Amino acid sequence: MWIKEVRQRRKLSQAALAKRVGIHRVHLARIEGEARMPSFRALERIARALGVTSEELLSGYRRKREAVAIRESGRRCRRFLRLLLGSTRTLQDRLRLERDLVAMLGRLRRRSRNRTRGRGDA
């Protein structure tokens, strides 16, 4: 779970949660926006105030990072494909490259899904 999502489910404002935790609202906003990483102590207090464990908050952070990495690798693959397609001479070569790249993206997505299922988070 992510801090902002849990906070919103609990119908808490940033100011109310920050007051419960004992940190400034701006600092909490930066933590939620992932511009800052909370200290372990602050993470424990946030988790306690939200009624979840710190592990649940951290696991949500890891899942988000993995999703961003997969999206970024997909962007790189598409960019690479555009470069290759622009330099290939025959339609057959272009189709073969496109098919291989689509297969690679599919494997990346399946691998990502399998990782999340393996944790029981599906």
Q: Model confidence over 53-110: pLDDT tens digits?
A: 887 777 765 556 666 666 677 777 777 766 666 665 666 776 777 777 778 878 877 8
Mean local confidence (pLDDT), 10-17: 92
Tens digit of each residue's pLDDT (9 = 90 or more) over 30-50: 888 877 888 888 888 998 998
For position 9, what pLDDT does the model report?
Answer: 86
d(CA 53, CA 44): 8
Q: How confident is the model at residue 16 (pLDDT cuts 50, 70, 90)?
A: very high
Q: For residue 118, which of 55, 59, 53 has the smallest C-alpha distance?
A: 59
CATH number, span 3-52: 1.10.260.40
- CA–CA gap between residue 12 and residue 50 (Å, rounded): 9
In 3D space, the residue among 59, 11, 18, 6 whose CA is nearest the CA of residue 42 turns out to be 18
Q: Is the pLDDT of residue 22 over 90?
A: yes
What pLDDT was estimated at residue 94? 67
pLDDT at 13: 93
